[in-house]
Amino acid sequence: MLFAILYGVWLLPHTVFVRNSCLVGGALLSFPIIAKYWRLLFQRAAAPIWLIVLLLVWVTIHLLFIGQDFDRQYLEYTTIWKKIAIGCVFALGLGLAIGQNTNPKTAKTSWAIIYWGLLLPSLIYFGKYILGIVALHYGLTLSPYLILNPDHMGSPFGISRARYVFFCLPAMAVGLGCIANDLKRKPLHWQSAIFYLLSVPLTLTLFELEGDRLGAVYAIALLGVFALVVARNIIDVRRPILTMLALALMVSASVWLVQKVTYQSPLWHQFWADAKMAVQVDKYDAWQTRVLPINELGIPASDSNYMRISWAIVGTRLLMQNPLGYGLLSLSFGGLGKQIWPNAQISWTHSAWLDFALSYGLPALIMIWLAIALTWQEAKALNPPWNTLGRWGLFIAAAVMLTKEVSTEVVLNSMIFMIVWVAALGLSTPNTKPKLPPTPKPTPGQQ
């Protein structure tokens, strides 16, 4: 329940007390569990957890010997990384406790709480949306905590669209993964499948209301992967016509969704024209001044298209020049850039992974990517529905960080929490076959 509350409020502003209380409370509850099962940490499946421990050690070394802004980096170390470390303890205990549970009824209850927790960010969003409509109709004044503020940059209660994508997509991904698991059963559990499917319109509607085109693209990609998994499960050479019809329906639905997203946003129509300008970072300095150039269509380039591409190129160059990073989670791109271009108006690269690499260097990026890859692989051995947390939830969260400007405390904390949590779930799965009883030796008479 502490995890469900924590995940529900993780992206909400001015909820530090609730978040910290959940993290500390979860860590305190985890200590006895870890003390009981600590021997499970010394097996191959625990490699992702040790990689995260190594990452924490590297961040400490980076602070003491590598970073270029000690005062601000020390402040981040004693706030952001302290919370991440506490979250790792919470995640480890949570994973071990769930994994060691042998009571099916308790496991079922635990899963229900976990999944509702994953849904909470979307449910809170629509709760605010409905309250806003009611308040407008009846002329009521709502608390700022209950207002769905669209100004995420200028309002202290605003929430970035990128955070909604990161925190809301995993519920949809895990739900689709659960349906994919259920397809292997005979018969299919229709009640649970319908419940999980409700996450799809919930998530897509949220992205539509927020106007987040990349969120919609990720959702469509998820549906495409789900369609392939479904097709693989229903393919039957004895029923070629049914199989072909099912595949045709899935492909048609995917094409229709892609076209809808593409034509709905004018930014897609000028994407290639903007990209041709954006890649020429040495010829045009608009990425420094934020004064957008005119593209070949005769219109100003889109800020979203142009800056994403140009800053990705410039950020990658800076990373190659500074492979050990600058030291600040959200400000390293600007810090390194202004050493070369003092008047440049740059902040983030629009890629959380690139920002993370610019912060703590390529070694840190390799550690966390390797931890994600190993956790994703090990999650395959988990029993349903827990395997969906790693195979679907962790996968989509890591993918979102490729193109979203979410290199912030709450997002990184959530990502590392999920890595340790899913890896800890896998520690409870024996990796060796049970020993067979010894074969009795034959007596001389039997010989």
Burial class (CB in 10 A: 0-12, 13-18, 19+), 174: buried
3 state SS of 300: strand
Using an 8 Å Cβ cutoff, are 427 and 46 in contact? yes
**Of 190 and 20, more confident:** 20
Q: How far is CA 266 from the centre of its chain?
A: 27
What 3-state DSSP class applies to 270?
coil
The C-alpha angle 64, 69, 73, rounded to 5 degrees, equals 65
Query: 150, 125 in Cβ contact below 8 A?
Result: no
- Residue 35 tokens read as 């003390």
pLDDT at 419 over 90: yes
Amino acid at 369: W
pLDDT band at 304 (very low <50, low <70, confident <90, very high): confident
The first and second tokens of residue 26, run together, are: 């979860």
Q: What angle do CA 398, 400, 402 make, to 5 degrees?
A: 80
**All residues at 6 or more sequence positions from 400 whose CB lies less than 8 Å from its CB, including other chains:** 165, 166, 169, 218, 352, 406
Q: Going by C-beta distance under 8 Å and a sequence separation of 6 or more, which residues neighbour residue 447? A: none
Buried b (16+ CB within 10 A) or exposed e, 109-132: ebbeebbebbbbbbebbeebeebb
Contact 348, 407 (CB under 8 A): yes
Tell me how far apart the alpha carbons of residues 203 and 195 are, in angstroms, rounded to a whole number: 13
**Which of these ranges, 293-297, 350-354, 377-381, has the smallest mean pLDDT?**
293-297
In whole angstroms, what is the distance from residue 264 CA to residue 211 CA?
Answer: 10
List for the chain the helix, strand, coil content (%; round to 5): 75, 0, 25
Backbone angles phi, psi at 300, to 5 degrees: -60, 140
* Tokens matching residue 378: 């090990």
Q: Please state, in angstroms and as integers, the Cα–Cα distance from residue 260 to each residue in 137, 203, 396, following that order.
A: 32, 16, 22
pLDDT for 228 = 80
Place of tokens 């940059």: 153
Are 371 and 419 spatial neighbours (Cβ–Cβ below 8 Å)? yes
What integer pLDDT is reported at residue 371 of this predicted model?
Answer: 98
| Mean local confidence (pLDDT), 47-74 | 96
Instruction: Report in angstroms the alpha-carbon separations of 309 from 47, 251, 274, 305.
Output: 35, 30, 9, 6
Q: What is residue 294's three-state secondary structure?
A: strand
pLDDT value, residue 256: 63
Runs of H (alpha helix) within 139-239: 161-182, 190-197, 199-210, 213-234
**What's the mean pLDDT in 62-89?**
96
| Distance separating alpha carbons of residues 193 and 178, to the nearest angstrom | 8
Question: 271 pLDDT band (50/70/90 cuts)?
Answer: confident
* 447 confidence band (pLDDT: 50, 70, 90): very low
pLDDT digits (tens, 9 = 90+) for 386-410: 999 999 999 999 999 999 988 999 9
Judge contact between 49 and 424, C-beta under 8 A. yes
**Helix (H) / strand (E) containing 379:** none
The reported pLDDT for the residue numbered 435 is 41
Q: For residue 412, give the nearest of 352, 348, 372 by alpha carbon.
A: 352
pLDDT band per the 50, 70, 90 thresholds, residue 434: very low
